[in-house]
Amino acid sequence: MAAKVSVKSKNGKVRRAIVVGGGLAGLMTVIKLCEAGIPVDIISLVPVKRSHSVCAQGGINASVNLKGEGDSPQIHMEETCLGGDFLANQPPVKGMAEAAPGIVFMLDRMGVPFNRTPEGNLDFRRFGGTLFHRTAFSGATTGQQLLYALDEQVRRYETVDVTDDKGVTIPGEKMVRKFEFWDVCDLVIDDDGIVRGVVAQDLKTSEIRSFVGDAVCLATGGVGMVYGRSTNSVINTGSAAAVAFRRGACYANGEFIQVHPTAIPGADKLRLISESVRGEGGRVWVPRDQNDKRKGKDIPEKERYYFLEERYPAYKNLVPRDIASREIFKTVVHEGYHTRPGVRASYLDVTHLAKTPSAKQALRNKLEGVLEIYEKFAGEDPYENPMEIFPAVHYSMGGLWCGFEKDARGSLKMGSPANAQTNLPGLFATGEADYEYHGANRLGANSLLSCIYGGMVTGPAMASWRESVKGSAYDMDDSVFDKAAKRAREEFEGYYKRTGSEFTENAFKIHDELAEEMLVKVTVERKNNELDGVIAKIGELNERFEKCEVLDTTPTGKMNQPAVFLRHLRGMLDLAEVIVLGARAREENRGAHYKPIFDPKRKEAKEYGDAGGEGAGKGRDDENWQKTTKAFFVGPKSAPKISYEAVDVSLVKPRARVYEQSSMDAAKGSLGASKDESKPEAKPAAQT
Ligand SMILES: Cc1cc2nc3c(=O)[nH]c(=O)nc-3n(C[C@H](O)[C@H](O)[C@H](O)COP(=O)(O)OP(=O)(O)OC[C@H]3O[C@@H](n4cnc5c(N)ncnc54)[C@H](O)[C@@H]3O)c2cc1C
């Protein structure tokens, strides 16, 4: 961290940093910048308290080991690397796992109402991909409690005056200025390629203008809307990341999209039933008899097929998400099991945990927020009836590429400007918008952690960059900013003038068609012939996009949602192409990216798609594919360029990803085995 920051530019203007996004990652970045004395403009599509982080249900990971199970940050790091199928660079993962206990205690002190044990300790529940109770939680509304706690801290800075280098108050300047309902639609990049600000549109008035910043961070969340129906908020179009991509930012590991095993199937949206339900003892099953027409609660125990428990005796219902989703998909879609004939779903059951009034109350204390969602949208009481669930698109492990600098212990060197910085100098990315912490598959409850840790890393990195950058954006000629705003205005006006007989296409229909292709062919199972079809379809949709009618010709000066949607749709088409091209090129199975042909257990199964061939059944292929996919925008009519980068696996040696162990002891046996580089080497005992 730079020791002293210069608040004013040469010409006397207050030098601000810009943080786009007010979810957990964005807010934490803002807090860290303010702690370093740097004023910030925060820009958000929605009120920051409505950011998608508010939806998070289950909890946040930290190896505090309050239950005395022998958990540690070292094991947390190892399980995160293993869960991510060894595609994550390990120094950021180490930094995150080591910081986690301190983060949970910090949130506790900020007033987050975490659940507690009867003795008054923080309570921890189990989540997927670990055998330890590692997840701190606030009932089933953890994201909301965390977001509100950080929002409170940021609001405090909204009232704090900016002081100059001598400590004198600068009139009218507060540490944080908030711009809500603004849509960032372009970057300001100077002639040296340095990002100097953003262009954003006021969604209430359609005004487009530039914002100047001496470091810019995109903390703009995930891309679920590329798939239309997902567990994500409908604002999660990935628009800001797509804008950065068009301006040259590298997008990494796009093909790694997490499909969560348990969501309520729905025509409009797929509402998540959190992993915390299984963490508290919820069980996944289907009737053994595929013609069984009874209600789930009427089917006796011995006639139920608890397929996850049978196939994974140690981890049971808490195998990592990619595995659980594939098993549910395989069981329901390929093996023909279901909850009721004609319904593509499996049961997730908590009724056995609510047999007595006191047990039901205890369950309510831990899961009310999520069980309420089921009751409201499925119309059935989950305390009485097993819930019907099916996998749903949930999270993007990929995102904007960013760098990092290691310290001597192999962790992150805090305060290095390389951390979280994209390939565009001056542009940083954090939270779900980056690709840094989860590799090929994210473990449950690691995202809230990576968002907050990401903010703690990104703030100091931006502070260092701001001190070292050549010349302040605030001393630059206005023309740099005017030009960028003019370009965005022209683009928008171009959209809103799209009326007349040549504009025959409907943007919402194009989005539906894109989503359908992506949902069916680029989720749990991927087959090359189908991916080729999706690539061709995206090409067709891109052409049709040019003929989209705007639908609303309201003059600028007012809100014009369909025109804004056109801009977001263009971004979704770009990101979809990145996702599919990455998936098509990756000829192996790793984490969430799975081609049946490479499954060692299914290589002969022609009915699953590709009919054998080179490499069939090889599974994960470290020799050729232990590398990060990097996609670059080439031009509006060209496919993105893909290149690859080696993964830093210096801390945990890649090993086979096995979760089928027969017992907890067997599964735990191999953990903690990797060398902790931060500890001094134990001296060998003297030979006698
Ligand atoms: C239903 C659900 C439950 C989950 N539960 C958990 C859980 O229990 N534990 C866990 O670890 N993870 C969980 N996750 C994942 C986790 O919630 C998210 O990954 C995380 O909250 C993302 O936070 P973020 O700060 O990166 O982005 P977000 O919270 O999505 O915030 C993005 C911000 O960017 C802004 N923005 C976006 N685009 C623009 C633009 N163009 N211009 C201006 N502003 C823009 C938005 O307004 C918003 O403020 C869950 C996810 C879902 C969908």
Q: Please say if the pLDDT value at position 600 is more than 70.
A: yes
Per-chain mean pLDDT for the chain: 93
Pocket test for ligand 1, best of 40, 42, 53, 570 (most atoms within 8 A of CB): 53
Provide mean pLDDT across the span 411-436.
98
| pLDDT the model gives residue 259 | 97
Provide mean pLDDT across the span 346-370.
95
Alpha-carbon Rg for the chain, nearest whole angstrom, is: 25
H or E segment at 611?
Answer: none
Pocket of ligand 1 contains residue 186 by CB under 6 Å: no
Written as one letter, the residue type at 255 is E
Q: Tell me the per-residue pLDDT of 640-684, one tens digit each, with 9 for 90 and over.
A: 999 999 999 999 999 999 898 877 777 777 677 655 544 444 343
Provide mean pLDDT across the span 118-122.
94
User: Ligand 1: which residue has its CA nearest to atom 8?
Assistant: 58
Pocket of ligand 1 contains residue 46 by CB under 6 Å: yes
| pLDDT the model gives residue 1 | 43
Q: Tell me the per-residue pLDDT of 252-264, one tens digit each, with 9 for 90 and over.
A: 999 999 999 999 9
Q: Tell me the per-residue pLDDT of 313-334, one tens digit each, with 9 for 90 and over.
A: 999 999 999 999 999 999 999 9
Q: What are phi and psi of 63, to 5 degrees?
A: -80, 75
| More confident call, 559 vs 360 | 360
| pLDDT the model gives residue 615 | 82
- Under a CB-based contact definition with an 8 Å cutoff, are residues 517 and 537 in contact? yes
Written as one letter, the residue type at 73 is P
Q: Tell me the per-residue pLDDT of 177-208, one tens digit each, with 9 for 90 and over.
A: 999 999 999 999 999 999 999 999 999 999 99
Question: Counting atoms of ligand 1 from 1, which one is nearest the CA of 243?
Answer: 41
Q: What are phi and psi of 122, to 5 degrees?
A: -60, 140
- The residue with tokens 């981890």 is 315
| pLDDT the model gives residue 630 | 98
Domain architecture of the chain: domains with CATH: 17-57+136-258+395-479 (3.50.50.60), 261-392 (3.90.700.10), 485-626 (1.20.58.100)
Q: Please say if the pLDDT value at position 165 is more than 90.
A: no
| pLDDT the model gives residue 515 | 97
| pLDDT the model gives residue 607 | 52
| pLDDT the model gives residue 686 | 37
Q: Please say if the pLDDT value at position 5 is more than 80.
A: no
Share of the chain above pLDDT 70, in %: 95
| pLDDT the model gives residue 587 | 95
- How far is ligand 1, taken at its centre, from the CA of residue 552, in Å? 29
Provide mean pLDDT across the span 103-117.
97
Catalogue the active-site residues. 321
Segment among 2-6, 13-17, 459-463 with least mean pLDDT: 2-6
Q: Tell me the per-residue pLDDT of 504-523, one tens digit each, with 9 for 90 and over.
A: 999 999 999 999 999 999 99
What's the pTM?
0.95
Tokens describing residue 436? 């840094």
Strands 195-202, 251-252: parallel, antiparallel or unpaired by DSSP?
A: unpaired
Q: Within 10 Å of residue 96's Cβ, how many Cβ atoms?
A: 29
Provide mean pLDDT across the span 369-386.
95
Instruction: Count how many residues are written for the chain.
Output: 688
Report CA dihedral (379, 383, 386, 391) to the nearest 10 degrees.
70
| pLDDT the model gives residue 377 | 94
| pLDDT the model gives residue 7 | 94
Pocket of ligand 1 contains residue 187 by CB under 6 Å: no
H or E segment at 165?
Answer: none
Q: How confident is the model at residue 119 (pLDDT cuts 50, 70, 90)?
A: very high
| pLDDT the model gives residue 668 | 78
Question: Counting atoms of ligand 1 from 1, which one is nearest the CA of 432?
Answer: 26
Question: Counting atoms of ligand 1 from 1, which one is nearest the CA of 48?
Answer: 49
User: Ligand 1: which residue has its CA nearest to atom 14?
Assistant: 56
Three-state secondary structure of 349-413: ECHHHCCCHHHHHHHHHHHHHHHHHHHHHHCCCCCCCCEEEEEEEEEECCEECCCCCECCCCCEC
Query: What is the DSSP code string of 623-636?
Result: HHH-EEEEEE---T
Provide mean pLDDT across the span 460-487.
96
Pocket of ligand 1 contains residue 20 by CB under 6 Å: yes
Q: Cα separation of 593 and 84, whole Å?
A: 11
Q: How confident is the model at residue 604 (pLDDT cuts 50, 70, 90)?
A: low
Q: Tell me the per-residue pLDDT of 73-101, one tens digit each, with 9 for 90 and over.
A: 999 999 999 999 999 999 999 999 999 99
Q: Tell me the per-residue pLDDT of 272-292, one tens digit each, with 9 for 90 and over.
A: 999 999 999 999 999 999 999
Pocket of ligand 1 contains residue 62 by CB under 6 Å: no
The residue ranges of DSSP E strands in 104-207, in sequence order, are 124-126, 133-136, 161-163, 169-174, 176-180, 182-189, 195-202
Q: Please say if the pLDDT value at position 110 is more than 60.
A: yes
| More confident call, 501 vs 432 | 432
